Amino acid sequence: MVIRIALYSHDSVGLGHVRRNLAIAHALSERLPALLGDEVTGLLISGQSAATTFPTPPGWDWLILPSITTGPGGYSSQHLTAGLQRVTGIRGGSVQAAMAAFRPDLFVVDRHAFGVEQELAPTLHWLRHHRPSCTTVLGLRDVLDEPSVTHAEWAAIGGADAVRRSFDEIWVYGDPGVHDLTRTGEIPAGLVPLVRHTGYLSHGRPGRGHPVAEEPFVLTTVGGGSDGGAIATAAARATVPAGIRHVIVTGPEMPAEDRRAIRAAAGPLTTVTRSVPDALALIRRADAVVSMGGYNAVAEIMSTSTPALIVPRDNRRVEQPLRAAALASLGAVETLSSADATPEALSAFFARAVGSRVARAGIDLDGLATVADHAAELVAAARTRKELMEHAV
């Protein structure tokens, strides 16, 4: 038998959702054959065309949906000259057609239970009625937002009842000892029984290990880069210890004018690059790292002993400041607000961090292994139920 898995992410800004699902795909592909005795094939469903630059595990492929973006007015089409309703209709119809043909055993939805503008609702309804052996899972980050914001978001999609009708489990990719969204009120009480904390998706991430700079060096990375210009510019103006190079990764979505400002501010020992083939390998080899506080960047940092200063995004959600503060309280990282991340403050961080390492014991970083264990359990249980139903008939 072959285990068929589909992983969906809506992908409006950045590559975080893509990278999270890709890490999960690699873990499932590597671990499920040993756990269940069957090979794995899968679809990675994304609204980010840049996702295809990342290599998939054997037996996996991409399904790329028309892109959307987000701004002050909410979601909109990124490329098609069409209204949001038409674009999400194309997206939702594409996913439903793919699921009807692919007939997955496991369908994992990243962060947004019903996608953009309920685009996934027909697919989830179809799976419940035409593919009942498929287990559906909602995957959530360790931190969502302040409860007043998440309450409104859950209510807008129908509340706990709507989610329970469509999903069998909720996987929270974090350690409740660091931040427990079932206790903070970020998730409705009616969904708490569905929650499994997996630990951070840190250890076991795939890497290609291509070098970008000669060692020793410090690293500044700002995720996709769409709103990381100020931090990267401050880092370019910072002083690093003698004999240390500086690598700044601007991200593929950084505006060209921001990238030019960073290059103008950079010194002769600073390399400014748009993207790298393996950010994790770079983090591992760096003497220190300055990073924004997105889930994937932090998860990768946590899998290393590299000293890290997290400068969280604070202009849209409080997700990143909450994550950074929680980890800083345990000594796993340092954190500064974006307003305080001046060249002088970053210089001081580099000066004290270079030559040291950080032990991050005591935090559950084995989420990828746990996700594979949960997936194996769910697929095996679904197979047993299907066999019992067939025998009963």
Look at residue 210 in the predicted model and tell me its pLDDT: 55
Look at residue 368 in the predicted model and tell me its pLDDT: 98
Q: Which amino acid is at 139?
A: G
Per-residue pLDDT of 61-78, as tens digits, reads: 999 999 999 888 899 999
Topology annotation, domain 217-353: Rossmann fold (3.40.50)
Quote the tokens at residue 136.
């559906």
Edge-to-edge strand list for the sheet holding 60-64? 60-64, 39-46, 2-8, 106-110, 135-141, 169-173, 195-197
Which CATH number applies to 2-203+366-392?
3.40.50.2000
Greater model confidence, 1 or 117: 117
Q: Which of 280, 230, 229 lies closest to 256, judged by CA?
A: 229
Mean pLDDT, all residues of the chain: 94
Look at residue 209 in the predicted model and tell me its pLDDT: 59
Quote the tokens at residue 225.
């880069």
CA separation for the pair 45, 110 (Å, rounded): 10
**Span 254-264, mean pLDDT?**
96
Distances (CA, A) of 7 to 52, 111, 115, 222, 245: 14, 11, 12, 25, 39
DSSP secondary structure string for all residues of 148-169: HHHHHHHHHTTHHHHHHHH-SE
Q: Which amino acid is at 183?
A: R
CA separation for the pair 25, 33 (Å, rounded): 13
CA separation for the pair 231, 221 (Å, rounded): 9
Look at residue 252 in the predicted model and tell me its pLDDT: 87
pLDDT score of 207 more than 80:
no
Q: Which amino acid is at 56?
A: T
Where in the chain is CATH 3.40.50.2000? 2-203+366-392, 217-353
Q: Which of 289, 272, 293 lies closest to 281, judged by CA?
A: 289
CA separation for the pair 221, 292 (Å, rounded): 7
pLDDT score of 259 more than 90:
yes
CA separation for the pair 390, 393 (Å, rounded): 5
Residue 30: band (very low, low, confident or very high) from pLDDT cuts 50, 70, 90: very high
User: Alpha helices, DSSP H only, in the chain?
Assistant: 16-36, 84-102, 121-130, 147-156, 159-166, 181-184, 229-237, 256-265, 279-285, 295-302, 319-329, 343-353, 367-392
Ranking 121-125, 177-181, 203-207, 302-306 by mean pLDDT, the lowest is 203-207
Per-residue pLDDT of 263-297, as tens digits, reads: 999 999 999 999 888 889 999 999 999 999 999 99
CA separation for the pair 22, 108 (Å, rounded): 12
Residue 76 near residue 84, CB atoms below 8 Å? yes
CA separation for the pair 360, 67 (Å, rounded): 37
Distances (CA, A) of 261 to 230, 246, 274: 9, 16, 13
Tell me if residue 54 falls in helix, strand or coil: coil
Residue 119 near residue 91, CB atoms below 8 Å? yes
Residue 213: band (very low, low, confident or very high) from pLDDT cuts 50, 70, 90: low
Residue 172 near residue 324, CB atoms below 8 Å? no
